[in-house]
Amino acid sequence: MPRATERQYISYVGEFYDDAWTVEAALKGKTKTVEGASLLCTKLQEREDKRNKMVQYLADKRGISFKEMWMQMLTGKYEPLTGEELAKIQEIDPDGEGQ
């Protein structure tokens, strides 16, 4: 169980989704917090292939490995390329074939 400082928060989802979330939790006999975590994890699992393709695209664009791109994002070191950086990459690798 995470410590209080490790808890995550989401913004208000709006009346319609909040009501649906409340009913979903009640139907399953769970709290909204537990059901919300369950729903989020389920959606993240569903999107795994798409997320991995997106990370791979960004890695290829930079000429780095998937693992390196993933770690940049995970550790907060990822930044979108500027127009100038993209131009330099295109000079080095005009065909965009990467490594």
Task: Encode pLDDT of 65-80 as tens digits.
Answer: 999 999 999 999 999 9
Residue 22 lies in a domain: yes
pLDDT computed for residue 65 by the predictor: 97
Q: What is the DSSP string of 34-99?
A: HHHHHHHHHHHHHTHHHHHHHHHHHHHHHT--HHHHHHHHHTT---PPPHHHHHHHHHH-TT----
Work out the average pLDDT over 24-50: 97
Q: Does the pLDDT value for residue 13 go beyond 60?
A: yes
| pTM (2 d.p.) | 0.77
Answer with the residue of higher pLDDT: 20 or 4.
Answer: 20
Query: Within this chain, do residues 41 and 56 fall inside the same structural domain, yes or no?
Result: no
Residue 52 shares a structural domain with residue 40:
no
Judge if 79 and 53 occupy the same domain. Answer: yes
Can you give the residue range of the structural domain that contains 18?
14-46
Judge whether residue 99 has pLDDT over 60.
Answer: no
> 56 lies in a domain?
yes
What is the tally of structural domains in the chain? 2
